[in-house]
């Protein structure tokens, strides 16, 4: 998701794939113990790329990796609160919903209101392979759901009406064309 954080880190930046890159529609695969070194290298670069964008969440698909890894930080930039989630899985969703404006680093400068479960509980592994759970509401809840969707090839525009989605994607295509023409 797009956001205002801009904390600097020194890990190499990775280019963020832009819609309609087909990798954004792929399902990422579970991380195993054999992926430990790759994930350790990937996560700092994902944070660096997310902060640079600036964004508040990034999924591995968006930088061309198909490992189930997401990074999020919805805190103000003066007090960064980075969380890396390996194999994240929503285990509880509230029946109550909430609507928030969402954007996506892979669908730059396009925003729309998306309705999702208001609260979620997510199970994941941290970078040391420890099993953890996090309960979220508000922005963090929407952000976690948005990023976990990416791992399943789902984008926030999929929640919009066909009319709204087509309008937004046409605006994006036009902006990308103009960007390339420059």
Q: What is the distance between the alpha carbons of residues 146 and 4, in angstroms, rounded to a whole number?
A: 17
- Pick between residue 106 and residue 125 the one whose CB is nearest to Ni ion: 106
Which of residues 13 and 36 has its CB atom nearest to Ni ion in the complex? 13
Task: Using the minimum distance from each CB to Ni ion, give the nearer residue, 71 or 104.
Answer: 104
Cβ closer to Ni ion: 36 or 117? Answer: 117
80: exposed, middle or buried (C-beta count within 10 Å: 0-12, 13-18, 19+)?
middle
Greatest alpha-carbon span in the chain: 48
- Selected from 28, 31, 104, 114, the binder of Ni ion by CB under 5 A is 104
For residue 148, give both structure tokens: 């976990």
Active site residue 6: no
Candidates 90-98, 100-108, 116-124, 125-133: pick the segment binding Ni ion (CB under 5 A): 100-108
Q: Residue 83: which H helix or E strand, with range?
A: strand 83-93
> 152: which DSSP letter?
T
Q: Shortest approach of Ni ion to residue 73 CB, angstroms?
A: 14
Q: How far is the first Cα of the chain from the last one, in angstroms, to the nearest whole number?
A: 26
Number of residues that bind Ni ion (CB under 5 A): 1
Closest by CA to 13, choosing from 49, 54, 67, 63, is 49
Query: What residues from 33 to 92 belong to the interface with Ni ion (CB under 5 A)?
Result: none
CB 107 to Ni ion: min, Å: 7
The residues carrying an active-site annotation are 147
Query: Which residues here bind Ni ion, judged by CB under 5 A?
Result: 104
């Amino acid at each position: 998701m797009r956001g205002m954080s801009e904390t600097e880190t020194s890990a190499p930046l990775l280019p963020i794939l832009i819609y309609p890159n087909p990798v954004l529609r792929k399902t990422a695969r579970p991380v195993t113990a054999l992926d430990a070194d790759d994930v350790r290298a990937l996560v700092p670069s994902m944070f660096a790329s997310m902060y640079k964008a600036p964004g508040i969440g990034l999924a591995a698909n968006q930088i061309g990796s198909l490992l189930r890894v997401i990074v999020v930080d919805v805190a103000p930039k003066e007090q960064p609160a980075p969380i890396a989630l390996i194999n994240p899985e929503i285990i509880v969703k509230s029946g109550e919903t909430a609507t928030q404006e969402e954007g996506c680093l892979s669908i730059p400068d396009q925003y729309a209101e998306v309705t999702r479960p208001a609260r979620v509980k997510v199970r994941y592994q941290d970078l040391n392979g420890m099993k953890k759970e996090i309960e979220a509401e508000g922005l963090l809840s929407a952000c976690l759901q948005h990023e976990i969707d990416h791992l399943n090839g789902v984008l926030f525009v999929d929640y919009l009406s066909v009319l709204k989605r087509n309008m937004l994607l046409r605006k994006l295509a036009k902006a990308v064309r103009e960007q390339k023409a420059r």
